[in-house]
């Protein structure tokens, strides 16, 4: 009897190919599509219809949970001056949780997704590990609880880039359905983050105020502290640059700007950590503090009661409070776990 596996499918290229590959490998595949918002991308819908000709597709209405667990906390975080990563939160709080709950109801042990990640076993422990792909997505999985790891499967773990994946889908369903794919934060629906915040956060919650330099000189008004992040250079609208955002003062609603080189961050303090592997103070690690950034060498200086401190080997910029922080083992690049940045210096 073929081994059963449940595959989460968004209707995108990666998850569609993942489901078809597993079917070709002889698995008894069931697909699950989570409905997260009103409306559906026409191309994604067509991919799902094509997939349904090969495997059964369950559709789960998760719109209410998505709003409660992802969108509202995202907006609340911005109101507090944080820079959240909704995809990291969604994977742990909603997407994979819903998949495992469905798998349990259906009596299915294994759960797969189209993420660019690896699962491996080291001794008696399972782990998520980085891939060689520039599209590596392990950062997005840093909050998954350990108990899910033995049941996970990532069919795209050996893919170097997306070219081969798109070619594979084109050979199955045609060139048109192999083009395009979802990018960025899904609930923005192709719009800008700034527009989304404007539509959902009231004027009095935006912390509108003035821009100032180190000498306290007034540089003009800003549209609200929630629209800026530490290290930001673009969109400041000032001459005699380059300027960058050094700090946001929520007490006085002031945006402190500096000239020249960006403020260097050497130490990051994080909270609400969730560990997939055992860690210890003094442990060398690789540190990733946003999806597009490459992991950098550091050392876990402290870790207890869900909080910790990481000291970077070299100072870095563009680190924002509220971002997810993923830590990796330095040898096999195994994901150790992740928390949220509390502050840095």
* Residues recognised as catalytic: 90, 186
Query: Cα-atom radius of gyration of the chain, to the nearest Å?
Result: 22
b/e string for 214-235 if b means 16 or more Cβ within 10 A?
eeeeebeebbbbbbbbbbbeee
Q: Tell the burial category of 17 from Cβ atoms under 10 Å away from its Cβ (0-12, 13-18, 19+).
A: buried
Q: Is residue 167 within a helix (H) or strand (E), and if so which, with residue range?
A: helix 163-173
Sign of CA dihedral 219, 225, 231, 236: negative
Residue 248 CB partners (closer than 8 Å, separation 6+): 81, 207, 225, 228, 230, 254, 255, 256
What the block records as the tokens of 196 is 């989304």
Instruction: Please say whether the beta carbons of 127 and 121 come within 8 A.
Output: yes
Instruction: Please say whether the beta carbons of 32 and 102 come within 8 A.
Output: yes
Dist CA 100 CA 107 (whole Å): 10
Q: How far apart are the first and last CA of the chain?
A: 57
Could you list the beta-strand ranges (E) of the chain. 4-8, 28-35, 57-61, 110-112, 118-122, 125-129, 152-153, 209-212, 218-222, 243-249, 254-259, 265-275, 283-288, 296-304, 307-316, 324-328, 335-344
Widest Cα–Cα separation across the chain: 74
What the block records as the tokens of 264 is 């260097």
């Amino acid at each position: 009897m073929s081994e059963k596996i449940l595959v989460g499918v968004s209707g995108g290229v990666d998850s569609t190919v993942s489901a078809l590959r597993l079917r070709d490998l002889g698995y008894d595949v069931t697909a699950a599509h989570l409905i997260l918002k009103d409306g559906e991308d026409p191309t994604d819908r067509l991919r799902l219809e094509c997939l349904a000709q090969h495997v059964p597709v369950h559709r789960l209405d998760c719109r209410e949970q998505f709003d409660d667990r992802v969108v509202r906390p995202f907006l609340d975080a911005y109101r507090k001056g944080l820079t959240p990563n909704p995809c990291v939160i969604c994977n742990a709080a909603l997407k994979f949780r819903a998949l495992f709950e469905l798998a349990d109801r259906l009596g299915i042990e294994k759960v797969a997704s189209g993420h660019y990640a690896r699962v491996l076993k080291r001794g008696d422990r399972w782990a998520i590990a980085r891939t060689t792909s520039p599209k590596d997505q392990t950062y997005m999985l840093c909050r998954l609880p350990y108990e899910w790891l033995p049941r996970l499967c990532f069919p795209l773990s050996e893919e170097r880039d997306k070219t081969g994946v798109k070619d594979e889908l084109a050979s199955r369903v045609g060139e048109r359905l192999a083009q395009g794919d979802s990018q960025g934060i899904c609930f923005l629906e192709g719009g800008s983050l700034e527009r989304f915040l404007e539509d959902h956060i009231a004027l009095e919650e935006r912390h509108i105020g003035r821009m100032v330099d180190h000498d306290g000189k007034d540089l003009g008004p800003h549209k609200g502290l929630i629209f800026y992040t530490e290290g930001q250079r673009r969109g400041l609208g000032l001459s005699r640059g380059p300027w960058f955002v050094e700090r946001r003062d929520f007490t006085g609603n002031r945006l402190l700007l500096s000239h020249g080189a960006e403020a260097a961050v050497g130490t990051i303090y994080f909270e609400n950590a969730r560990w997939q592997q055992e860690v210890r103070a003094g442990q060398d690690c690789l540190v990733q503090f946003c999806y597009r950034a490459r992991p950098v060498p550091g050392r876990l200086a402290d870790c207890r009661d869900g909080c910790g401190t990481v000291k970077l080997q070299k100072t870095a910029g563009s680190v924002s409070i509220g971002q997810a922080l993923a830590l990796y083992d330095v040898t096999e690049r195994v994901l150790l776990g992740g928390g949220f940045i509390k502050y840095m210096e």
